[in-house]
Amino acid sequence: MSASRRILLVNGPNLNLLGLREPGIYGSATLADVERITAEAAAAHGYEIRAVQSNHEGVLLDTIHAAREDCAGVVINPGGLTHTSVALRDALTGVALPFAEVHISDVHAREEFRHHSYLSDVAAVCVIGRGVAGYAEATRALIGLLGAPRR
């Protein structure tokens, strides 16, 4: 599939534990559920998803760098890196792909250190506190900005 029809889905540290980790905050959906929900939202508009999850910042950076070759945009839940990683911000702005920042919980209603995001001010789309359904919402909004896939 051409780059104009692919979106990179990035899930950062600890998101592999969805469904197990703090279900009162993150719910019972798993990472596989998130990937399915996102892929379905993308497919409805002629896009496919390439999904990656890593607990290692360098893996995420390398994946984002590679996306400039074969993706039209990025949907990312950076997890805890949201609040700490200038390197992640630099990777996203460096590849010049529009991206959607997603958070399952309402980070602004949680601990104060979670209130600041290094990504929100450069993200094309931010979806916060909508549960895993927020991934589909972010994907649709990003695709709305990207437009119909080129043939």
Instruction: Say whether 26 is catalytic.
Output: yes
45, 47, 65, 103: the active-site residue = 103
Is 83 annotated in some ligand binding site?
A: yes
Is 104 annotated in some ligand binding site?
A: yes
E strand intervals along the chain: 6-11, 48-53, 73-77, 99-103, 125-128
Is 114 annotated in some ligand binding site?
A: yes
26, 47, 118, 135: the active-site residue = 26
Take residue 5 and report the two structure tokens written for it: 């029809």
Is 25 annotated in some ligand binding site?
A: no
Coil, strand or helix at 106: coil
User: In a 10 Å sphere around its CB, with 0-12 CB exposed, 13-18 middle and 19+ buried, how is residue 97 labelled?
Assistant: buried
Is 33 annotated in some ligand binding site?
A: no
In Å, what is the CA distance from 72 to each residue of 6, 24, 125?
6, 34, 14
Is 62 annotated in some ligand binding site?
A: no
List, by residue number, the catalytic residues.
26, 103
Going by the annotation, the residues of the binding site are 77, 83, 90, 104-105, 114
Q: Which residues are annotated as a binding site for substrate?
A: 77, 83, 90, 104-105, 114
